[in-house]
A and B are shown apart, each in its own frame.
Chain A
Amino acid sequence: MLNMSTNNLSYNDQGGSDSAVEVGQETTPTTNAGAGFGLFSTNFKKNDDLKEMLESNKDSLKLEAMKRIIALIAKGKNASELFPAVVKNVASKNIELKKLVYVYLVRYAEEQQDLALLSISTFQRALKDPNQLIRASALRVLSSIRVPIIVPIMMLAIKEAASDMSPYVRKTSAHAIQKLYSLDPDQKEHLIEVIEKLLKDKSTLVAGSVVMAFEEVCPDRIDLIHKNYRKLCNLLVDVEEWGQVVIISMLTRYARTQFTSPWKEDGLFDENSERAFYESDEEKTENEKEAKSYMMDPDHRLLLRNTKPLLQSRNTAVVMSVAQLYWHLAPKHEISIVTKSLVRLLRSHREVQYIVLQNIATMSIQRKGMFEPYMKSFYVRSTDATHIKSLKLEILTNLANEANISTILREFQTYVKSQDKQFAAGTIQAIGRCATNISEVTDTCLQGLVLLLSNRDETVVAESVVVIKKLLQTQPTQHSDIIKHMAKLFDNITVPMARASILWLIGEYCERVPKIAPDVLRKMAKTFTSEEDIVKLQTVNLAAKLYLTNSKQTKLLTQYILNLGKYDQNYDIRDRTRFIRQLIVPNEKSGALSKYARRILLAPKPAPVLESAYKDRDRYQLGTLSHTINTKASGYLELSDWPAVAPDQSVRNVEVIEPVKEWTPSLGKSKLSKSSDDKFYSDSGEEEEKEKCSGSSSSDDSSSSSSSEESGSEAESDEEKSSSQSSEESNKSSSQSENSSSESDSEQKKKNATKKPPQKKTVKPTAKDSDSDENGNVAKEASSSSAEESSSGSESGSDADSDSGTEHKKKTKSKAKPKMEVKSKKVVSLLDLDDFTPTPVTQPKSYVLSPSLLGDLEGLSLANVSSTMQVSGPAFVPEKSHDLLHRMTGKGLSAQYQFPRQPCLYQPTMVSVQISLTNTSDHPLEQIHIGDRSPTGLNIYCFNTIECLQPEASVTVSLGIDFNDSTQAANFQLCTKEDQFSVSIQPAVGELFLPITMTEQDFRKEQGKLLGMNESSATITMAAENTTSQPISRQVATVANLGVVPSGQDNLHRFAGKTASSGAVVLVTVELKESSTALITINTEKSVMGPMLLRDLKQALSQA
């Protein structure tokens, strides 16, 4: 009663002070409240002073009090009676005080729900705070207060926070989802909506937390993952480590439901390659066929590829989760890449070792080969903890085979002598297992074990006996002397299990030791009453068996023992005795059964199989708690079996439009995206045309020419401007388009040149608009100008058309149209990305995402090197194509490749290669794709499989190859349905660069950093025609994909680029000297590439 009234009192008071806060005053207890608490404190004298301190005006005193209270909580003492006094400080301005109050509140709110409600309004207000961190912490505390009444408030707050601007707040809301769910599971449906929304979030900060919420609230809603699958895979590397663990384990489950098995039919035990030998040839070929027909889903591959770098994480949990992912998802031959990392974890803390060793134990049963090379890492040290020792022993036993058994046995010998007797006993069991598994060493082991029988330690002896018993069962024929030896030792052995084992052995093989057995029985009859139960049972057993084989000598003894057993205290023994008596001693009641007594008791018994305790652990997902404790933990989610047929993979396709809009602004390197945009633009411009048959032919023409113009003008935008080349360019693209002739093209061109200046002005705003829309950062001069030019080109193109024969009306129309088109095309063309790759399969659109994302990351890493360097378009694209596969060797398939010198879309570190495939045979070629590659680590972005190539048809596909900044050839196999052709692409050193633009100052600065070792130079005699700037630029650009740097001096020509893989800067200077000599200087930290480039340049510049 009293308590309640005080509660009420303080409640009133609280209301008062709360309103005081609202008017913006400091919380000061009124005298009234003081009286209230005075009353209160009489009940709880010990916290008197704390309450007084909390009520004081000084923050320092309050703080001191709160600290003492928190210390009480930390020690596990109850401080709940202070709740009213504490809770009114919830709105304090002092941050530390506030934090401590939060801590207190979260701890006790559940117990004092009514009072806790008082604080809610404070949090509600804080949820609207402009500072994201305050919003987040308010949500965090609000959702931690486990008071059911505020569920609707929490729900609202979560929903709001889920669409907050700040990713940190969104992360907090993901955490709050789980809290709310555990408070009120009825909210599930609403929470799933929020989860669905947050799953779409692209912040790495949110990803881990929301997947955690997903796992807790609705792990079965796999359908929510589809659209986010590729994004999660791509973000994974950048998510914080704890989130990685959660995401990886979720994706493991996901992948098991969505992809088909990469394992061959007998894949599960495929480790035994011997198995394949024994199989009939027929089966083998069948298997191979099956293996061949399997094609890994690109999404499956994406997951494996993106998790691999995480094996290098410092967080052991991350490494383990990647290891289990590979174990459960990767093709068998790829699993072994996790070995090294797992072995590395063994250097970590003892507890980590324990878990990792457990998992290795399970893995090593199925796949010895994985860990065999690291066998010595599992050698036991005397300082290891007992459970570590036995796990290592387990693994060593699993790894034992014919080849290494002698090494392992030698190691075991040391262990048997260990002071840790439990471990020594474990070793003996391990020896037993080795002996049964590997028949070559059975005898050696047996002899070794017999020697151990004379060991002084009892546990060792007992264990040896038990193991010997098991071993003898497997090959009982020739070991009567061992049995005799054991019978001799019998008197000295006291461990019941060992004694029982010996008795059993003698009974089982009593015919081999006919003299000794009755004697042992005689001894046992003497000590029967003082034996352990297990020994008594075996004595009865022995007696029965002897009675059957040698009744003359043992009849009386057996009778005696059976009589003793009949009156034993243990009912099991009485039971057994009765049973045995009925069975072996024939009388009128025993019936038919006793006739078979001999066959029942002395039946040959199957030898026990000694196998690992980890044999069946693989039913649990590796790395889980359930695996560790070997029972199903609550909340464990089963890993489903692979589906026989993969579910529709198109569900993972994502609408690209949104991500691109989202992504581009954040690009660190706007140029990269710009140029790729350009590419889409020019490529799909025509495609769009084809689809869009509507509209006048004039507008058709105009836009096709606009695209051709653009590619031309791109080349122009750089210094080197050769008209022949640009017309070549435009010719090329226009020839692809259906209805524009080269004549009209050149005509347009002329008109362009004349009409440009006035047009430019009108178009400018449009171009600018679209530009700044696309990339938020300030667009580069060059890029914007190229965009300008392109759009102006399209403008003038349409002009030209309308000039050539249409009325004025149409002219205005068409004038308006391109303007719109410029804008809309950008969006639409991005959507139509499929057209970029030749096959219209449901090409995963996320690949569009990944390069831009990678570009983003790249931007991060390089932005600091120099913000002024930007990748630009190629100055010159050589027409020269190289033979990849001759039609004779390719059985009709011929392939040529060339370097388009565009930054690779798939990964910025790759060099893009265009391959044109032509079918010169008379039948269609099916399923052209890329097969094995070497070196195996070679990173190739393959084109999609070409389902069918008709005779005489040809198709151009693009490929990304990461040459790793070396001119080493990339070897791979070009496969058709029937054949495989090994081909190789050897890049010239110049193709490994990407041109960059920079100012002269930057050039000098960079050059200054790359002196000495990094500089290589040579003086050459120039060919006569190469003495002016244009030819030099052309020659250099032909040899290497470098950008031109503006130069203030006439005799100095500068070129700059960076290597594709590593982004190392490459600077080339050509200095003209008198009498047509020139000094070529190359500055790059790539000490191999420098001289190679120098050689090529020398050659190019010194000859015509």
Chain B
Amino acid sequence: MIHSLFLINPSGDIFLEKHWKSVVSRSVCDYFLEAKEKALEPEDVPPVIHTPHHYLISIYRDKLFFLSIIQTEVPPLFVIEFLHRIAEMIQDYFGECSETVVKDNMVMVYELLEEMLDNGFPLATESNILKEMIRPPTILRSVVNTLTGTSNVGDTLPTGQLSTIPWRRAGVKYTNNEAYFDVVEEIDAILDQSGTTVFAEIQGVVEACVKLSGMPDLTLSFMNPRLLDDVSFHPCVRYKRWESERVLSFIPPDGNFTLMTYHVNAQNLVAIPVYVKQSISFFESGSGGRLDVTVGPKQTMGKTVEGVMVTVHMPKTILSVNLTATQGSYIYDNGTKLLVWDIGKLNPQKLPNLRGSLSLQAGAPKPEENPSLNIDLKIQQLAISGLKVNRLDMFGEKYKPFKGVKYITKAGKFQVRT
């Protein structure tokens, strides 16, 4: 299936290679680099490239290209999903996924890759199993390791792979038993110039951080499961019980994991928490333009809107901006033509406003389309769909766990057309 993997940085240097079958010369990457040259943005590189002898499937993530070499027919999503798992695994182990981190932990990454695939077929991709085989580095452990010469490779053989619940390692023990669930909802929306909603939907995810000893069997139920239109689960969730009773019943993995993602029925009108008043105009003469943006709270259910940020991809011909913000600060990067206005908390009494002039390159024609605004925001203690966790029960263990549920609403792909 997956023959080889190359990690490539944005400037085109191959800094890690791993082969699961025979070795493929790295010159095969030239096809990819060629395609990369052609693309304007790294995102535009086609994920699947067809070369005379190989097929190249790549992802671009965290400013890195993960390029896999395929020789025979395989579902492309299989490879793509796996490449993302690699990136998530690196993130999980080292806190971030970047070129420096991979270079600093070259051996460990290589060992992990070795464990994740056998002959190109995924072998162990559950982070709980991997961590049993190769322990993630901590500051304390690396100090101890250098002093004593011991290593990160687990000396006990992993048993998780053998169990019927491969996502959970055996013999978990905590002094404080706690289970936290974050219900995070994202609003995806497109608003048009007048502020009318063109399209809006809510996507939610239940992130869990479960630190419970032994083999707890948890049941999580919602007050209003009917809201959920479409769901996908971590493999630990018993689908049959969800089908019949609409409760989540599962033996959780240890640590952080995504329990479920869901989509809220689109028929319910989505509450849009903020409104944006904007006017961006360019003078006919082509010498410049004006920008005036105001953000205010709309349907916030009585909560404060925080972390508001407006991002604008300016047209290429904009030379500079001269703006004043009544609240927060703005940054304009002339290289990427990106204007970021960080507002912070929304105060309903005094609405933040950003206005000023834009100047164009001399002689450049007036841009045809106004740039669209991307909004970022966060509302604590609120799930905008109204979803509520009813209760969490634990079976199978004797102790009383500490339980907590947190709700957050965020803007997902929230775009205002102008």
Contacts and interface: CB of A to CB of B under 8 A. Distances in A.
Interface in A469-526: none
A349 B59 contact: yes
Interface in B32-89: 40-41, 43-44, 46-48, 50, 55, 58-61, 70-78, 80-84
Contacts of A249: 75
Contact of A382 (B40, B43, B58, B313): B313
A961 to B, nearest CB: 13
A865 interface: yes
A379 B125 contact: no
A313 B235 contact: yes
B155 interface: yes
A628 B76 contact: yes
Contacts of A626: 73
Interface stretch (B104-112, B276-284, B345-353, B402-410): B104-112
A864 B58 CA distance: 43
A347 B368 contact: no
Contacts of A624: 73, 75-76
Nearest to A865: B395
Contacts of B244: 909, 962, 964-965, 1061-1062
Interface residues of B, number: 105
A314 interface: yes
Nearest to A146: B22
Interface string B167-180: 00000000000000
Judged by DSSP, the binding face of B is: mixed
Interface stretch (A40-48, A234-242, A255-263): A234-242
A382 B50 contact: no
Interface stretch (A63-71, A153-161, A552-560, A639-647): A63-71
A406 interface: no
B245 interface: yes
Nearest to B47: A351
B307 interface: no
B230 A341 contact: yes
A76 B82 CA distance: 22
A394 to B, nearest CB: 15
A625 B107 contact: no
Interface string B295-310: 0000000000000000
A2 interface: no
Given A320-B77, A625-B75, A631-B50, A349 B263 contact: no
B119 A144 contact: yes
Of A60, A240, A456, which is in contact with the most chain B CB atoms at under 10 Å from its CB? A240
A840 B249 CA distance: 40
A381 B413 contact: yes
Contact of A414 (B1, B16, B239, B417): B417
Chain A interface size band reads 35 or more
B388 interface: no
A293 interface: no
B92 interface: no
A96 interface: yes
Judged by DSSP, the binding face of A is: helix
Given A314-B232, A349-B59, A351-B47, A633 B73 contact: yes
A312 interface: yes
Interface string A316-328: 1101110000000
B110 A103 contact: yes
B148 to A, nearest CB: 9
A611 interface: no
Interface string B189-219: 0101000001101010000000000010100
B139 interface: no
A321 B75 contact: yes
B269 interface: no
Contacts of A382: 313, 371-372, 415
B121 A212 contact: yes
A1018 interface: no
B171 to A, nearest CB: 16
Contacts of B274: none
A381 B157 contact: no
Contacts of A140: 118
B386 interface: no
Contacts of A209: 121
Interface stretch (A114-122, A126-134, A265-273): A126-134
Contacts of A132: 162
Given A75-B16, A629-B55, A909 B122 contact: no
B53 to A, nearest CB: 9
A123 to B, nearest CB: 15
Contacts of B374: 383
A107 interface: yes
B333 interface: no
A13 to B, nearest CB: 26
Interface in B307-350: 313, 315-316
A861 interface: yes
Of A71, A168, A212, which is in contact with the most chain B CB atoms at under 10 Å from its CB? A71
B107 A71 contact: yes
B399 interface: no
B230 A340 contact: yes
B231 interface: yes
Of B109, B110, B417, which is in contact with the most chain A CB atoms at under 10 Å from its CB? B110
Interface string A364-383: 00000000000011010111
Interface stretch (A175-183, A885-893, A1033-1041, A1092-1100): A175-183
A178 B154 CA distance: 29
Given A355-B47, A385-B44, A637-B73, A1062 B149 contact: no
Contacts of A172: 118
B78 A242 contact: yes
A188 B215 CA distance: 44
Contacts of A179: 21, 119
B356 interface: no
A60 B111 contact: no
Of A238, A242, A456, which is in contact with the most chain B CB atoms at under 10 Å from its CB? A242
A381 B245 CA distance: 38
A645 B30 CA distance: 50
A138 to B, nearest CB: 12
A229 B374 CA distance: 51
B21 A182 contact: yes
Contacts of A309: 239-240, 243
A634 to B, nearest CB: 5
Nearest to B217: A864
B44 A352 contact: no
B27 to A, nearest CB: 11
Given A414-B417, A419-B315, A629 B48 contact: yes
B287 to A, nearest CB: 17
Interface in B375-418: 395-396, 413, 415, 417
28 contacts: A67-B107, A70-B106, A73-B110, A74-B17, A74-B18, A74-B106, A74-B107, A74-B109, A132-B162, A133-B162, A146-B22, A175-B118, A204-B164, A212-B1, A312-B239, A313-B233, A314-B235, A316-B80, A316-B81, A343-B230, A352-B84, A381-B413, A414-B192, A628-B48, A633-B55, A861-B238, A861-B249, A909-B240
Given A351-B84, A1062-B241, 10 more contacts: A100-B107, A178-B119, A237-B239, A241-B235, A314-B261, A351-B80, A352-B84, A385-B44, A417-B369, A634-B71
Question: Top 9 A-B pairs ranked by shortest CB distance?
Answer: A635-B72, A60-B149, A864-B396, A96-B153, A417-B369, A351-B47, A133-B157, A317-B77, A864-B217
